[in-house]
Amino acid sequence: MAIRPGRGPFRPGLPPVGGCVRYRQRGYGSNCDAIGVSRFSSLRQRFEPRVAELRGSETAKAAGLAGAMIINNVIALASTVVFARVLDDYGSLAALISYFLILSVIGQAMQVATAREGVLGHLGTGEGLMATVRGWTRSMLIFTAVLTVISFVLRDQIASAVGVRHDTWAAAIGLPAGCLWLELSLLRGVLQGVGDYKGVGLSLIGEQGARLVLGTALAVAGLGVTGAYLGTPLSFLVMSAYCARRLQRRVALTAAEQPASAVPTETISLWHHVKRAWAPIAGLIVIAVLQNIDIIAAKHQFSKDLASAYGATAVAAKVLIWVAIGAGFYLVPEVSRRRAAGEDTRPVLGVALGIVLVCAIPVLLIFAVAAKPLLQAAFGAKRTSASDSLIVLGVAFTVLAATYLAIQYMLALKRTWFLIVIGLVAIAEPILLLQAPKKAAGFAAVVLAIQAVGALVAFAFALRRGSPPTLEDTASGAPDVLPAARASAGVGSR
């Protein structure tokens, strides 16, 4: 039998070994294709049940929400880039957004609390759940109307405090926007509670997409800063309508599967619901002030151009806050579990801090050696005048990321006294920043000093040993409902 180098023995009428891939004799291509299709079908039949199981798993749900948050943040970053280039006074928009972010923390905390209560069935089921949502919506309509009137009456004072004296109507939008955000957060929490993670993820993406499109269109149409800012509450209205419609469909499907004799469970009032979440709300308010008040203070201290440049620089410097939020998803349930089991919880905090540190090293190196090119590529040449402050702000917000983890750690341990002391640091920050140097680098140094003090206070409380858990804590400490709240991120995805 003839042997051909590299091809194996020649067999008349048959393709050589491996010929289905590298060699096709006339008449044998269809056979090779059939073999490939057969193998693909076999593999599909083998793995399709596993893929279907993975799609319905908790891991897939968490991964889907994480993916939605990534897309949300990417679109939010794109919005920042677009607005920084479209607006002459981007600093005013940055200050207004910082004002809103401080107001928005109540919604972030309430979304987590609502998801938890929904999983436990405390919000009712079927028509009982819809009765709860309708009652909350009526309360929110009244609350929003009252705060809207107050905000419009006090628009000049609010604009002065935020540092946007020439955009008083934009300043008046802040409180109504915070109310609309709270309503959207409650609806998202209810959707999480009934297991509609896809709806929550799509609303996260849709919110930022609507904000980018509507805000840009209004700004270009001649409304400037006010138009760009107005895109935010309008996006909340659109997504609230979407979430409400999605919830109605979900409940209708559930009601069709329940017996006709099913009795709605008792509901709770919105005020009672908010009171039960006071500690997370307070903790997030402290973090929001420490994270955002510097941009508002910069509007008071700097010229319009320098304030705009500082606002863009500060946005870039805060990237590690999002890493800390992701690490917090691991930290909170694991600390709760270890506390319930009577184990030492401090190693968990160490792991979370290690995650932030590993990410911080390359980020800070980039900030140190390529600050100006980075800012110019992202925000344009007009926004580079504060580039010398990027590395200082990067270190400051890395420290704040550690403070965030320490606060989440203590809240997971059900400690609250620390909030008084760390709250004093947050109150002192705007006072000190208004006395800071009027150059970006010196101003950033004051921000760093304040963040360092906040971190020292937080870790002084966090690293001390606490009392062992009570029997009630042990019984309720298992974090089996926490996966439903892992989309709190929110929280912040701005």
- Six-digit token pair at 375? 């800012």
- Following DSSP, what letter does each residue of 390-453 receive, concatenated? HHHHHHHHHHHHHHHHHHHHHHHTT--THHHHHHHHHHHHHHHHTTS-SSHHHHHHHHHHHHHH
The alpha carbon of 86 is separated from its chain's Cα centroid by a whole number of angstroms, namely 25
pLDDT tens sequence across 316-346? 888 888 788 777 767 776 787 788 788 888 8
In the prediction, which pLDDT does 148 show?
A: 95
Contact assessment for residue 169 and residue 226, using Cβ atoms and an 8 Å cutoff: yes
pLDDT tens figures, 39-63: 656 655 665 555 455 455 555 665 6
Measured in whole angstroms, the distance separating CA 455 from the mean position of its chain's CA atoms is 22
More confident residue, 168 or 488: 168
**Domain boundary assignment for the chain:** 60-276, 277-479
pLDDT tens digits along 116-145: 788 777 888 888 888 889 999 999 999 999
Q: Tell me the pTM.
A: 0.72
How high is the pLDDT of residue 492? Answer: 39
d(CA 173, CA 185): 18
Higher pLDDT, 51 or 301: 301
pLDDT tens string 464-490: 765 555 544 444 443 333 333 333 333
